[in-house]
């Protein structure tokens, strides 16, 4: 009888497929400070993206089809100090290349999020989100000259949407590979979902569907005392490129998405045609 129970237990563990003791443990998502790239390289690369917003749409609209990527920023892992609380870097080798994508459909959404910049505890932040603007790609990065390392495999891709919300108006001390200083954080500008990416025959799946990023505009920091802005080598699935970088203008914060909904436009109040707008006197 004991042997039978052992066999049953082994079959039950096999049926679970993924036993917690053997599950992959991903590091916590870091903060990222994003530096502007001038003379932005353009790639004509066909890819498909699907995130949590896309998956809720009917086929075939449930994938966004991208055909152009413009390298706009490089985002460094960043240590943050605010109100006496330090959030360290989990993995200094994590970097995200920010590519602007070709225009996508505008679908207004309301998203309730929570992160370290929340106001009253438990309230969170309400973001008004519209169209997808950027793709964040895990990348290896090194100051030039040098051999650029491969990107870390334990970091997701993110698709970022234009977003708006209340001002934050906080002054954390931020420290990354380039600059360590107090930086004024202004208002949310992007909300980013983890995203599945199909590039040719390669599908890059989402590893952690709970972590998101909210990116905030920051004050216009410059490389004080540095005559020549640093040049960096960036390496990822789209190749290797060397670029200069200018001042940081965004700070992306790990975020939990609490809820979201699509904004449905209100029905017209009347079926009567709108009256013609009268022309000013003397107009043709």
In a domain, residue 239? The reply is yes
Does residue 7 register a pLDDT over 50?
Answer: no
The pLDDT value recorded for residue 264 is: 79
In a domain, residue 1? The reply is no
| Mean pLDDT computed over 100-115 | 96
Number of structural domains found in the chain: 1
The pLDDT value recorded for residue 22 is: 39
Sequence-separated contacts (24+) of 182-187 with Cβ below 8 Å: 183/33, 183/218, 183/219, 183/221, 183/248, 183/251, 184/218, 184/219, 185/117, 185/216, 185/217, 185/218, 185/251, 186/216, 186/217, 186/218, 186/219, 187/216, 187/217
Question: What pLDDT band is residue 162 in, cutting at 50, 70 and 90?
Answer: very high
Does residue 54 register a pLDDT over 80?
Answer: yes
Which pair of structure tokens corresponds to residue 186?
């202004």
Is residue 10 within 8 Å of 52, Cβ to Cβ?
no
Is residue 148 within 8 Å of 240, Cβ to Cβ?
yes
Torsion 71-73-79-84 (CA) sign: negative
Kindly list the distances between the CA atom of residue 197 and the CA atoms of 46, 85, 104, 200, 203, in Å, as whole numbers in the listed order: 11, 35, 16, 10, 6
The pLDDT value recorded for residue 123 is: 76
In a domain, residue 10? The reply is no
In a domain, residue 279? The reply is no
In a domain, residue 139? The reply is yes
In a domain, residue 5? The reply is no
Which pair of structure tokens corresponds to residue 283?
């107009």
Which pair of structure tokens corresponds to residue 40?
């932005």
The angle subtended at Cα 162 by Cα 76 and Cα 62, nearest 5°, is 100
The pLDDT value recorded for residue 122 is: 62
| Mean pLDDT computed over 60-86 | 95
What distance in Å separates the CA atoms of residue 247 and residue 245, rounded to the nearest whole number?
7
User: What does pLDDT average to over the chain?
Assistant: 84
In a domain, residue 14? The reply is no
Question: What pLDDT band is residue 69 in, cutting at 50, 70 and 90?
Answer: very high
Of 11-15, 68-72, 80-84, minimum mean pLDDT range = 11-15
Q: Find, among 46, 63, 73, the residue nearest to 215 by Cα.
A: 73
- Which range of residues forms the domain containing residue 156? 26-262
| Mean pLDDT computed over 139-150 | 74
What distance in Å separates the CA atoms of residue 219 and residue 214, rounded to the nearest whole number?
16
In a domain, residue 171? The reply is yes
């Amino acid at each position: 009888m004991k042997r039978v129970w052992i066999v049953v237990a082994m079959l039950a563990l096999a049926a679970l497929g993924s036993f917690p003791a053997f599950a992959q443990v991903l590091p916590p998502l870091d903060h990222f400070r994003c530096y502007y790239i001038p003379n932005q390289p353009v790639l004509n690369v066909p890819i498909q993206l699907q995130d949590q917003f896309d998956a809720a749409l009917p086929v075939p609209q449930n994938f966004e089809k991208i055909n152009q990527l413009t390298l706009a920023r490089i985002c460094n892992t960043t240590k943050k100090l605010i109100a006496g609380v330090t959030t360290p870097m989990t993995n200094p080798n994590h970097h995200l290349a920010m590519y602007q994508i070709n225009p996508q459909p505008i679908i207004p959404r309301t998203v309730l999020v929570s992160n370290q910049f929340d106001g009253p505890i438990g309230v969170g932040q309400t973001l008004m989100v519209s169209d997808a603007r950027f793709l964040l790609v895990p990348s290896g990065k090194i100051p030039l000259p040098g051999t650029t390392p491969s990107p870390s495999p334990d970091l997701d891709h993110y698709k970022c949407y234009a977003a708006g919300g209340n001002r934050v108006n906080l002054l954390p001390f931020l420290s990354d590979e380039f600059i360590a200083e107090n930086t004024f954080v202004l208002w949310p500008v992007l909300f980013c979902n983890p995203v599945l990416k199909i590039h040719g025959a390669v599908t890059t799946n989402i590893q952690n569907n709970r972590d998101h990023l909210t990116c905030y505009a920051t004050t216009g920091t410059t490389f004080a005392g540095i005559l020549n802005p640093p040049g960096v080598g960036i390496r990822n699935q789209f190749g290797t490129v060397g670029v200069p970088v200018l001042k940081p203008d965004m700070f992306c914060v790990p975020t939990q998405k609490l809820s979201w909904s699509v904004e449905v436009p209100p029905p017209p109040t009347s079926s009567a045609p709108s009256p013609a707008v009268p022309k000013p006197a003397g107009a043709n």
